[in-house]
Amino acid sequence: MEPDGVDLCPARATELAGRLLQNITLALRGKPEVVLRATVTLLARGHLLIEDVPGVGKTTLARALALSVDAQFNRIQFTSDLLPGDLTGLSLPELVNGQRGGHFGFQPGPLFANVVLADEVNRASPKSQSALLEAMSENTVSVDGVTHDLPDPFFVVATQNPLEHHGTHPLPESQLDRFLMRVAVGYPSRDFEADVLREDPAANALPRLESVVSLDELRAMQAAARKVKFDDTLIAYLLEVVEETRQHEALELGVSPRGALAWRRAAQSRALVDGRDFCIPEDLRELAVDVLAHRVSANLRSGAVHSPEETGWIVQEILGRVPVPF
């Protein structure tokens, strides 16, 4: 029996995942693979980083995903003057008979929600980004030496503009490693862009979206994903790819054990969405670039360029030379 009395069989979990996919697609047209990866990240209890140029639907995707789950949602606009306390909350004097007394009480900040949209996360200073890092790493925040637990589940959807845009600060490697996936939305095809112009789903469909999954059901779906079988042969294949990233001549930093675990969890969630209670090699291969490329660093001495595209190509090259089991 899962938390709060909700227990889901794999078939029911797959059905609910399908509802999520369909609901989100109502607001973001023509991007089924992006919607799939967002849903997989949620089921894997990870965090999602969406990086692309302005205006392609990053915020629409995040809001549609949040609205599709009956959970508490907060949106935080990251700016250069954002302070850590603006995220975590503050200790303030408590009100006594309408006046501030001598006792201090904790006032939770916007991070205290099940789904948090961190919009344009790389516009904040490194100090504020470090406050978000603790929340993503530990599901807690620390204020004045006191640690406070965040809600469960806690899911961050962060958007960022490409680093060459004015006023951005690169996320540190330690924070990038906390995002289970890093995806790009990309421009829509001509036909879907014509639909967007005719229907404007972000303005019309998005405000009318209703939740299709309860919070208890989401927890149970996440628990079902963790139970998806992952064969020892797949573990050996995963470790071979990870080892190749650590030995590759064009990479200075390979995939960490945390990254390997994230890749396995993503594959399990992908299998569940596909209606299976076991993983296959394609579950890993399909998600490899999105899970691994932002966790490795290019070795500039080799002539490689440190960019998501370059590291993505390197991951693809490694996948092409590691034998696929069965």
pLDDT digits (tens, 9 = 90+) for 221-273: 999 999 999 999 999 999 999 999 999 998 988 999 999 999 999 999 999 99
| pLDDT score for 1 | 33
| pLDDT score for 3 | 44
Does the pLDDT of residue 278 top 70, yes or no? yes
* pLDDT one-digit tens code per residue, 88-122: 998 877 665 656 566 778 889 999 999 999 988 88
- Please name every residue paired with 120 in a beta bridge, in sequence order, or none if there are none: none
Determine the Cα–Cα distance for residues 287 and 234; give it in Å rounded to an integer.
14
Residue appearing with tokens 């394609």 = 282
Which class for 322: exposed (0-12), middle (13-18), buried (19 or more C-beta within 10 A)?
Answer: middle
| pLDDT score for 171 | 81
Residue 273: which of 291, 290, 286, 288 has the closest Cα? 286
* pLDDT one-digit tens code per residue, 177-210: 999 999 988 888 888 888 888 888 888 888 888 9
Determine the Cα–Cα distance for residues 17 and 35; give it in Å rounded to an integer.
11
User: Span 51-57, mean pLDDT?
Assistant: 80
Does the pLDDT of residue 306 top 90, yes or no? no
Instruction: Record the pTM.
Output: 0.89
- According to DSSP, the β-strands at 146-149 and 140-143 are antiparallel
User: Is the bond preceding 153 in cis, omega lying within 30 degrees of 0?
Assistant: yes
* pLDDT one-digit tens code per residue, 210-224: 999 999 999 999 999
Alpha-carbon dihedral sign for residues 155, 60, 265, 179 = negative
| pLDDT score for 191 | 86
Does the pLDDT of residue 128 top 90, yes or no? no
Around Cβ 319, how many Cβ atoms within 10 Å? Answer: 17
User: Span 60-79, mean pLDDT?
Assistant: 89
Determine the Cα–Cα distance for residues 59 and 120; give it in Å rounded to an integer.
9
Residue appearing with tokens 């906390």 = 178
Structural domains of the chain, ranges and CATH numbers in brackets: 1-84+113-200+213-227 (3.40.50.300), 228-326 (1.10.8.80)
Query: Strand, helix or coil at 179?
Result: coil
Give the count of alpha carbons within 13 A of 252, CB side only: 11
Report yes or no: 322 and 241 within 8 Å, Cβ to Cβ: yes
Q: What percent of the chain has pLDDT over 70?
A: 91
Give the count of alpha carbons within 13 A of 56, CB side only: 19
Q: What's 165's DSSP letter?
A: S
